[in-house]
């Protein structure tokens, strides 16, 4: 198995674990990835009694949630490149942007950022691992 395929598989595993494991834990509640996804999309798709105040945090939240859909689409799109061991620079940039966008939670949550749990970090790591699967540094050199 090539490094690229290993990174691609690890990315899928990390993403799935991010959905199942706790992503944020506070004194009252534990949110698993699937619940955090619903909370992040609550401005568009109401979830329980959760209300997100309007503003840039709301838009960051929705954009972050939508990166989950993009992850699946991009992973499927990139598989032929991974299978050939080919680089995909646009994939690297797009996944890098998604990973950076998803890191906003460490800043947005301010004093509650310490409540972020393993599932959150695995979820962000999944974007980086997928990025590495098509990074030019892993592509075989052409002669």
Helix or strand holding residue 50 (H, E):
none
Q: Is residue 143 assigned to a domain?
A: no
Tens digit of pLDDT for each residue in 115-129?
888 999 999 999 999
pTM (2 d.p.): 0.89
Nearest CA among 94, 83, 105 for reference residue 128: 94
Q: Is residue 18 assigned to a domain?
A: yes
Range of the domain at 103: 3-138
Q: Is residue 49 assigned to a domain?
A: yes
Q: Is residue 29 assigned to a domain?
A: yes
**pLDDT tens, N- to C-terminus, the chain (143 residues):** 789 999 999 999 999 999 999 988 876 778 888 888 888 887 777 767 776 777 777 888 889 999 999 999 999 999 999 999 889 999 999 999 999 999 988 888 777 777 888 999 999 999 999 999 999 987 776 65
- Helices 33-40 and 118-133 pack at an angle, to 10 degrees, of 90
> Into how many domains does the chain fold?
1
């Amino acid at each position: 198995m090539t490094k690229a395929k290993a990174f691609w598989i690890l990315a899928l595993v990390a993403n799935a674990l991010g959905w199942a494991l706790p992503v944020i834990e506070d004194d009252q509640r534990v949110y698993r990835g699937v619940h955090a996804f619903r909370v992040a999309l609550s401005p568009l798709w109401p979830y329980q009694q959760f209300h997100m105040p309007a503003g840039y945090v709301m838009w960051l939240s929705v954009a972050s949630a939508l990166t989950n859909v993009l992850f699946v689409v991009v992973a499927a799109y990139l598989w032929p490149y991974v299978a050939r061991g080919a680089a995909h620079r646009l994939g690297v940039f797009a996944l890098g942007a998604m990973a950076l966008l998803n890191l906003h939670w460490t800043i947005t949550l301010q004093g509650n950022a310490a409540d972020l749990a393993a599932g959150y970090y695995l979820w962000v790591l999944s974007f980086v691992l997928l990025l590495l699967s098509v990074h030019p540094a892993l592509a075989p050199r052409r002669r």
